[in-house]
Amino acid sequence: MNKQNFGYTILFTAVVSFVFVLALAVVNEVTADQIQFNREVRLVRSVLDAMGVEFEDDEHARELFNDVQQVEQNGLSLYRFARNEEVLYAKQYSGAGLWGPIRGHLGIRADGERTLGLTILEHDETPGLGGRIDEPWFQEQFRNKRLVDGRIRMGSRDGQGDFVEDSGEFDGITGATSTSQAMERIINNHLEEITRALGGAS
């Protein structure tokens, strides 16, 4: 058969495409459950992390998560976790960063006075600049911090944690003004929603 023949070319391309696409479909099918499982574990870890609840491993996290309720509080969907007379809340947040959506969970104490923690599940900020929001020091600074007038402020100084305790001020990222401002706006919007919803309940 002539290899340069038009019919052969079409046939060959079709066969090769078919074989490869079929193989990919199989690989995709085989791993689909695992990918779904990873996604769930990640969500569970993120919610607990945002509430400042400590866990040992994935199994432990899933166990703890069984006690987390999803509640509707004045029309706002929240995660609620009651433990040792303490009530913790977390909300899934999302908003526009410089490039794309930033998503994660924001934890807050029932009295709305302090944040419990912040996690970032998804973002697509520039690597090395805004992308540094996914570094632990950035997220850790939201651990159990007092809010001033129910808001946070993003400072311009870059450091390894907030620099005045309980001032409601957090470190932004040098060279990534837009991402820092976007984070400030997203967090404040969601804080406002949460405090309104929680306040209305009590």
Partner 1 sequence: MSSAPAPGAMLRDNLWTNNPIFMQILGICSALAVTNLLTNTMIMTIAVVGVMGMTNLTVSLIKSLIPRKVRMMVQTLIIASYVIVVDIILRAYLPDISRALGPYVGLIITNCIIMGRAEAFAQQNPPLLSVWDGVTSAFGYMGVLLAIALIRELLGFGSLFGYQVMPEIFEPWIIMVMPPSAFFVLGIVIWIGKAIMEREGAPA
Partner 2 sequence: MNAPDINLIPLLFASIFTSNILLANFLGMCSFISISKDMQSSNGLGMAVTLVLFLTSGLNWVVYHMVLVPLGLEYLRFIIFITVIASMVQIIEMVIDRVSPKLYITLGIFLPLITVNCAILGVSLFLEIREYTFLQSLVYGLGSGLGWWLAIMLLAAIRKKVEKGPVPAALKGPGITVITIGFMAMAFIGFGGMLPVQ
Enumerate binding residues for partner 2 (CB under 8 A).
20-21, 24, 28, 95-101, 124, 126-129, 175-178, 181-182
Residue 197 token pair: 């919803």
- Partner from partner 2, partner 1, none contacting 69, C-beta within 5 to 8 A by type: none
Single-letter residue type at 164: V
Binding residue (CB under 8 A) for partner 1 from 62, 80, 129, 168: 129
- For the chain, how far is it from start to end, CA to CA, in angstroms? 82
- Partner from partner 2, partner 1, none contacting 96, C-beta within 5 to 8 A by type: partner 2
- Partner from partner 2, partner 1, none contacting 98, C-beta within 5 to 8 A by type: partner 2
- Min CB(184)–partner 2 separation in Å: 11
Q: Which of 79, 86, 72, 82 is nearest to 50 (CA)?
A: 79
The CA distances from residue 106 to 17, 78, 89, 193, in Å, are 45, 10, 8, 12
Q: How far is residue 2 CA from its own chain's centroid?
A: 57
Alpha-carbon distance of 10 to 16, in angstroms, equals: 10
- Summarize as ranges the residues that interact with partner 1 (CB under 8 A): 3-5, 8-9, 12-13, 16-17, 20-21, 23-24, 27-28, 31, 34-35, 38-39, 42, 122, 124, 126-129, 132, 158, 174-175
